[in-house]
Chains A and B, each alone.
Chain A
């Protein structure tokens, strides 16, 4: 059976009569076993794209996904409305950039990201990444996804890609909602950078896109951690909670000066470093450092997830 077939009815994936357990030899099964099935051969020529498409369809058909995206979009909207209704914010009070909002609506997007990245974004990423494998195991659909040869690596990659796409969607939701509400409620004009220089609207939209890209990259490491934890359990809530707790632990450790030697190795260390993109000229150092760090986390936890998932007895 082609995996994508089993996934079309989204949440209500009903297990039917298919070969049950796929033990660890699944990837090494002689291809002859299944080669009579033309569907399988087809899916091997287009490796994983259909699986990815169906994964994204399932992900973005879920009401939970949209509820989280809406909640994220509500953060900058709340900030903007609160600032609009209250008296002007004194410079230096509240979250960074808050006092700039009244002068320029484009800052609402940046302020929204500053406020979201310590908690709200990790929270939603934790839910999505923790659900990847454990969610399928909890629903009892995991073994049906693994009937295809070499299914495990591909399934892991597809699941991770799905979580990464959600990272993009989450960041874009905050940034776009912020810009839209900012344009509606506040004037738009030249943007003052941290260095005190001003840039035009076109340039500042470009910078905002860069910031969104930075934040997305920042969340990839956490997604990989969540993917690994998700392979450890069949209880999705446990994997989600563990991922979120780890992100909070990482941020707490990052705030302890006694552990300064550890800080460059924490995946949350560069989360607020996107401010370097708002300097003149742009300081690319933290972007590169962050990308390397996240790539390291993806490599380590991707390898761990592979080791665990490829050797796991999938019974559900």
Chain B
């Protein structure tokens, strides 16, 4: 009898040590399900949703964005508190997750803060003034936009991060007959109920499985863009708000004066717009940044861009990083990611597209 009560007491004293982890585990398992508990929204057709996105008038917001990529590129470990620079950071943009805060107030005031570990990159636009600031090397760059550029609804984007709105608009602009537009299950993004607009290629010759855009049910603002690759469970690319307030942030966020001691450079823009940034998973985008002599074969999702040997930067093919990422295939070397394949032929040409290797080889053979 006494023995039994002692044993019970022993067990009772171990009870918290079992109960606390169990409670935490239960919370960790249940939490995400509650957060994504599907909303039931009035049914809309894809056309209605497209019109809703086109008509959205949200110009003021503060939010937090998260971008993740699962492209199958090798990841570099980030060791130590000091951040990497150069090639490693360029690769980091395509591999690691990124968090950014976005502030918009009207069409001409915007601020994007890419939050790195112990560092930050800022793009601040106030009227026609654009400041780029990097805390890593304490450098600031000033650009003046031509007055004509002020009418656009677009916020300035850092080369690696756009808002889901900007990205979605570009993807929707590229819709062609080869794209099937459907409405998926209603979701919740950043605590807001949203419609799921799904673009899927009719062709089976592309690496892209589907693109889904979460459209805010109240305002029509795209809240997230997710690109699925064929043969991969996790989204190959995802850009989503994790936090969103549809109010104009405080005005002093948009007035930027370079800090004392900063390295300030003035840059003028010849055409009033920078080259479109290379965003992974944007179909048909490669054409924008390619040299004028490039060739295009295929249409829509199957587009293959070819670069003649003369247009390829000299040092590119010799880069050790490329040698590491590429593997030898029939007719050249292949850099393969979940969404884009790049074929470097033995005679120095480059073919790229969201297509399987065979199509790139065919394009290379056809000239």
Contact = CB atoms under 8 A, between A and B. Distances in A.
Interface stretch (B36-44, B137-145, B304-312, B353-361): B137-145
Interface string B74-91: 011111111101000000
Contacts of B96: 257
Contacts, number: 117
A91 B136 contact: yes
Contacts of B10: 24, 311
A94 interface: yes
B101 A283 contact: yes
Contact of A197 (B82, B118, B259): B259
B82 A279 contact: no
Interface residues of B, number: 53
Contacts of A195: 113, 120, 122, 133, 135
Contacts of A57: none
Given A91-B138, A196-B122, A300-B24, A285 B64 contact: yes
A255 B118 contact: no
A92 B137 contact: yes
Nearest to A96: B118
Contacts of B76: 257
Nearest to B242: A285
A24 B137 contact: no
A272 B115 CA distance: 13
Interface stretch (A78-86, A236-244, A302-310): A302-310
A114 B118 contact: yes
A35 interface: no
Interface residues of A, number: 44
B119 A194 contact: yes
Interface in B231-265: 243, 250, 253, 256-263
B16 A275 contact: no
Contact of B259 (A196, A257, A310): A196
Nearest to A305: B17
Contact of A311 (B13, B24, B250): B13
B16 A303 contact: yes
B29 interface: no
A233 B79 CA distance: 33
Contacts of A304: 17
A96 B262 CA distance: 16
A198 B77 contact: no
Given A303-B20, A307-B17, A255 B137 contact: no
B81 A198 contact: no
Contacts of A311: 10, 13-14
9 contacts: A24-B6, A189-B260, A192-B261, A194-B120, A195-B133, A196-B124, A275-B117, A283-B115, A307-B13
Interface of B: 6, 9-10, 13-17, 19-21, 24, 64, 75-83, 85, 95-96, 101, 113, 115, 117-120, 122, 124, 131, 133, 135-140, 243, 250, 253, 256-263
Given A194-B119, A257-B76, 20 more contacts: A24-B10, A91-B138, A95-B81, A96-B82, A96-B119, A100-B138, A192-B260, A192-B261, A195-B113, A195-B135, A196-B120, A196-B140, A197-B256, A255-B78, A255-B79, A276-B115, A279-B120, A281-B250, A283-B115, A307-B15
Interface of A: 24-25, 28, 91-92, 94-97, 99-100, 103, 114-115, 118, 189-190, 192, 194-198, 255-257, 272, 275-276, 279-281, 283, 285, 296, 299-300, 303-304, 306-308, 310-311
